[in-house]
Amino acid sequence: MSDTPSKPSLRLSQFLPYRLSVLSNTVSRNIADLYDRAFGLSIWQWRVMAVLGENSGITATEIGQVTAMDKVAVSRAVSGLLDSGHIARRASKEDARRAILTLTAKGKEVYDQIVPIALAAERDLVETLSGEEQAQLASLMEKLARAAEPDRPLW
Amino acid sequence: MSDTPSKPSLRLSQFLPYRLSVLSNTVSRNIADLYDRAFGLSIWQWRVMAVLGENSGITATEIGQVTAMDKVAVSRAVSGLLDSGHIARRASKEDARRAILTLTAKGKEVYDQIVPIALAAERDLVETLSGEEQAQLASLMEKLARAAEPDRPLW
DNA sequence: ATAATATAGTTTCATATGTAACTAATTTGC
DNA sequence: GCAAATTAGTTACATATGAAACTATATTAT
């Protein structure tokens, strides 16, 4: 008698896209809670501030490119941060469509406070990994990111 | 003169929670598109079907535990799948609060068609990794998941 | 036996998010 | 130099999501 061709089977709990999604949602929820409780910031608002902290005086569009946020998400985050006084906006002299964004003094202060918190949260996450494992992780994620989005910009 | 104590710095693009989130969203969006275009299923509906395909005759609460979905999300996915005829529901004899869920013939058919598609999508994602790298990835994600949610059930 | 509590699942409501339409400014093609 | 096409950013609308309230059943304690 012939072999039954074994049907390809799917074990959800071992399915990479599923595991990635559950892991990422858990991590994001933890971190979002942290930012929200301590400073009333959404994760999107924090990302905008993080980019401005690294690289002040850029535009909403540039922030979108760096953070992989779409322009509506950036616009909303920016609007909230303007209201709360964490960032300031002025029109570009060369191109009146563009708005140059910068952290305010208050924004810088908050930024300086959050950075160590964010880094500590990351450390909590990876501290059980050896240095070699951490390097592997970074490399594997880079490869996956490239496979998932072939025309992704390198960083 | 004394050294300036180097301020801990954050490079968003190297920040693990951020990278995880962007990667996971990209992968999920790709896959959700796949399910939606081919079968009109949301990712949540597909997860419910995937669990029922592995383990038929369980309840909504059990599905929630297995899939890390909250009960509202399960309820909504179930409701859509009942409407579309992919699953069936009957009350439990022992406990009338519980509803036993199963794939219908139509649901089984769709399940059998999606499984290879899902596995192919996963293969596309990991095919650039060596077997050893794939094993490392699984192990690293398991460790991260445990760090992110210490009381997580083992699988 | 019955009142209080807990559980399964649904519905409601408030908020978040994505897509598309829109406004204003700039650049391009002729 | 000006109409057509692009680009930056916002607004509007439709849908998705999460928290809390709710309904119905089951369990526990007295």
pLDDT, tens digit only, all 155 positions of chain A:
666 655 668 999 999 999 999 999 999 999 999 999 989 999 999 999 999 999 999 999 999 999 999 999 999 999 999 999 999 999 999 999 999 999 999 999 999 999 999 999 999 999 999 999 999 999 999 999 999 876 655 55
Residue A91 lies in a domain: yes
B8-30 mean pLDDT: 92
Looking at the structure of chain A, the number of domains it has is: 1
* Residues B44, B36: Cα–Cα separation, whole Å: 11
10 Å CB burial of residue A69 (0-12, 13-18, 19+) is: buried
Q: What is the pLDDT of residue B4?
A: 63
Residue B26 lies in a domain: no
* Residues A24, A30: Cα–Cα separation, whole Å: 10
Q: Is the pLDDT of residue B124 over 70?
A: yes
Higher pLDDT, B5 or B78: B78
* Residues A123, A113: Cα–Cα separation, whole Å: 16
Q: Within 13 Å of residue A126, how many CA atoms lie on the same side as its CB?
A: 18
Q: What CATH number is attached to the domain comprising B59?
A: 1.10.10.10
Q: What is the pLDDT of residue A8?
A: 67
B138 contact residues in A (CB cutoff 8 A) = 14
Residue A8 lies in a domain: no
Identity of the residue numbered A29: R
Asked if strand C comes closer than 7 Å to A151 Cβ, the answer is: no
Residues of the domain holding A70? 26-148
Residue A7 lies in a domain: no
Q: Between B24, B53, B112, which is nearest A20 by CB?
A: B24
**Which whole-number Å values give the CA distances from A117 to A85, A123, A126, B4, in the listed order?**
21, 10, 14, 21
DSSP classification of residue B14? G
Q: Which of residues 69-88 of B touch strand C (CB under 7 A)?
A: 71-72, 74-76, 78-79
Q: Between B17, B122, B146, which is nearest A28 by CB?
A: B17
Are B8 and A141 an interchain contact pair (Cβ–Cβ within 8 Å)? no
Place of tokens 């910068």: A102
Tell me the pairing of strands A87-91 and A99-103. antiparallel
Q: What is the pLDDT of residue A149?
A: 78
